[in-house]
Amino acid sequence: MTAGPGPLLAVHAHPDDETLATGALLATWAAAGAPVTVVTCTRGERGEVIPPALAHLEGDGSALAAHRERELAAALAALGVADHAFLDALPGPDGAAPARYEDSGMVWLAPGRAGPAPDAGPGAFAAVPVDEAAARLATLLRARRPAVVVTDEPGGGYGHPDHVQGHRVAARALALAADPEAGLAGAPYRVPVVLWSAVDADQAAAAERALPAAPPGLRRAGVDRVPPSAAVPGAQVDLRVDAAAVLDRVAAALRAHATQVQAVATWDADGGPAVGHLALSDGVLRPILRHEAYRLVGGALDDVRWPVGVGR
């Protein structure tokens, strides 16, 4: 076991995913003085835009991408994360052409569950060969040698094709990084602990019941909402992060993603399941859960020294 927390590396599909899915973990790790790296697979070119004052960005892929890059930089600064890379900017395998991984877009298949968009462009991240993208990430894994890697579960959290592809790329990169025959730069490296971000379904249900009335223009979740694919019973959660301890950092990062996140509010819940709320472009009020949840899918928890605020 190391003397202190080793490096952490998180892989996410779009700007804002790092905060929405793993913000408390990233902030807690950074606050402990340990290295944190975030890899973002696309720039969110096809995201919906919430504020009317920024509505002109929606549908203008290059302008929205540039704006969301700035939002991401502000969010990472709020979380305390200094090391960031876009996946397509990392060195590719020998002979690979320069890449530009674009947001693939999505459609809602049911409330709370997404699927592929029928008009994804030729540069869509979901269509990139997995091995090509994974080789870029594997080379970074060999260079950073993180103690922990965290990414989406196989369903992509809620089904977005870029999240699903991000999971596939991360899984393949972990294998390539450890393979001495992979033909990649750097010494082979096997990551000690691999986590999937999750939602404690029991905590989330209690938190949704405890939410206040929705502000004007927003609404509470309906009974027809499909649970996200990341949701698991509380008994299946392997690791929890105390979001309340880093709530100011997480809230600031959420507010930095103004094109994607609205109605961010926080409170002292005296041990309750929610410490605040937010809404996305669908206008549904969502709780900020007191504890971020994770599933262990590689290695053993005892192989890593966890920062204060992270535990079982």
Annotated domain spans of the chain? 8-199+230-242+292-299
Burial of 180 (0-12, 13-18, 19+ CB in 10 A): exposed
How long a stretch of residues is the chain? 312
Pairing outcome for strands 274-279 and 285-289: antiparallel
239/164 Cα distance (integer angstroms) = 22
Task: Please give the full DSSP string across 197-245, using - where no structure is assigned.
Answer: EEEEHHHHHHHHHH--PPPTT-BPPPTTPPPPTTEE-GGG--EEEEGGG
Pairing outcome for strands 310-311 and 239-242: antiparallel
CA distances from 250 to 24, 229, 230, 282, 293 (A): 6, 23, 20, 21, 15
179: number of Cβ within 10 Å: 13
243/23 Cα distance (integer angstroms) = 8
Q: Please check whether residue 26 is in contact with residue 81, taking contact to mean a CB–CB distance below 8 angstroms.
A: yes
126/160 Cα distance (integer angstroms) = 10
239 closest CA partner among 159, 297, 168: 297
141/10 Cα distance (integer angstroms) = 11
pLDDT (0 to 100) of residue 122:
86
88 closest CA partner among 46, 127, 125: 125
CATH topology for 8-199+230-242+292-299 is Rossmann fold (3.40.50)
**What angle separates helix 161-178 from helix 130-144, to the nearest 10 degrees?**
60
Mind listing the pLDDT tens digit of every residue in the chain (312 residues)? 446 799 999 999 999 999 999 999 999 999 999 999 999 999 999 999 999 999 999 999 999 999 999 999 999 999 999 999 999 999 988 867 778 999 999 998 887 788 999 999 889 999 999 999 999 999 999 999 999 999 999 999 999 999 999 999 999 999 999 999 999 999 999 999 999 999 999 999 999 999 999 999 999 988 777 889 999 999 999 999 999 999 999 999 999 999 999 999 999 878 899 999 999 999 999 999 999 999 999 999 999 999 999 999
Please state the pTM of the whole predicted model.
Answer: 0.96
